[in-house]
Amino acid sequence: MNLNQEQLRQIKDLIAQSGFKEVDVQMEILDHVASSVEDKMEENPLLTIDDAISATHQSFGIMGFSAFADGIANSIRVKYSRLFWRFFFSAFGYKYLLLLCFSIFGIYKMQYLLTANIFYIFLVIGLFCVFGIMVFSNIKPAVYKMFVSFKTGTSFLPFLGYILLLTNFSMNDIPAEYTIFSINVQQLTVSLSIILFMLYFNAAIRTAKASIKDTKWLIEKYRLLYN
């Protein structure tokens, strides 16, 4: 049998009353509970919807839906964490390794040509980019923030600021005269931190875009199924 909209809404209300606010977590629980309720009502046609829902709720144990919901949220977080690191480490593949080394070398040599003030300008521009991205992620429709997928996918963006702080530390706190095998340690550290920022920036943006796309799809899916 298939539950009607009113019966599905009854289950949704129970899930919401249990304290689960994220829509994608609610809907995953709803799918699982609705399937169980349907099975129980097919096994016993005399069973009321209230009794079937109650029996299903009890089957989750003393913790209710909490353990199941935690598992759903964790699986979503793992999904986007893996996606982020896949994007990040893809730059170290053999296809891009030569370009990566050339970029580090180019930034290292460029520091001989540019003054510290110009580098600070780049640093400020980077900070504005981070600030703009964080503002952008916060002005998305409020409904996005009700999805674990969106919150997890955009959670990597704030850490961009720490990488910029590393660059600033390299420029100011590592003595410029330190060298290893004639390589200036300060300039090498600055070069590596800038490349790290760019790679992290790319991975964070791509992960955020993927989460926004997935969230849009989930919104449409649940609107069609349960509204």
118 and 41 fall within a common domain: no
The verdict on 13 and 119 lying in the same domain is no
Residues 51 and 154 in one domain: no
User: Each residue of 200-227: b (16+ CB within 10 Å) or e?
Assistant: bbebbbbbbebbbebbeebbeebeeebe
pLDDT at 38: 87
Give me the helix-helix angle, 49-59 and 5-17, nearest 10°: 40
Question: How is residue 31 written in tokens?
Answer: 């799918």
**Residue with structure tokens 């503002």?**
135
Q: Locate tokens 């019966």: which residue?
A: 7
Whether 196 maps to a domain, the answer reads yes
User: Are both 146 and 207 inside the same structural domain?
Assistant: yes
pLDDT score for 119? 62
Question: Above 60 in pLDDT, residue 17?
Answer: yes
Q: DSSP state, 93?
A: S
Per the domain annotation, does 76 fall within a domain? no
Q: Which of 85-89, 202-206, 221-225 has the highest mean pLDDT?
A: 85-89
The answer to whether position 55 is within a domain reads yes
pTM: 0.70
Which residue type occupies 130? Answer: V
Of residues 118 and 45, more confidence is placed in 45
37 and 54 in contact (C-beta within 8 Å)? Answer: no
Both 87 and 60 in one domain: the answer is no
Q: What is the pLDDT of residue 167?
A: 67
Q: How many CA atoms lie within 13 A of 149 on its CB side?
A: 19
Q: Mean pLDDT throughout 38-50?
A: 83
Confidence of residue 82 (pLDDT cuts 50, 70, 90): very high
Shared domain check, 95 and 46? no
Kindly state the helix (H) or strand (E) to which residue 134 belongs, with its residue range: helix 116-138
Is residue 74 in some structural domain?
no
pLDDT-derived band at 67, boundaries 50, 70, 90: confident
Report the C-alpha gap between 130 and 163 in whole angstroms. 11
- Is residue 216 in a domain? yes
Cβ atoms within 10 Å, residue 191:
22
β-bridge pairing 183-184 and 179-180: antiparallel
Is residue 47 domain-resident? yes
> Looking at the structure, do residues 178 and 211 belong to the same domain, yes or no?
yes
> Is 36 found in the same domain as 95?
no
Residue with tokens 């709803």: 30
Q: What is the pLDDT of residue 98?
A: 83
**How many domains, the chain?**
2
Instruction: Provide the domain limits for residue 29.
Output: 5-64
The pLDDT of residue 176 is 59
Q: Is the pLDDT of residue 174 over 70?
A: no
Same domain as 201, residue 119: yes
101 and 12 in a common domain: no
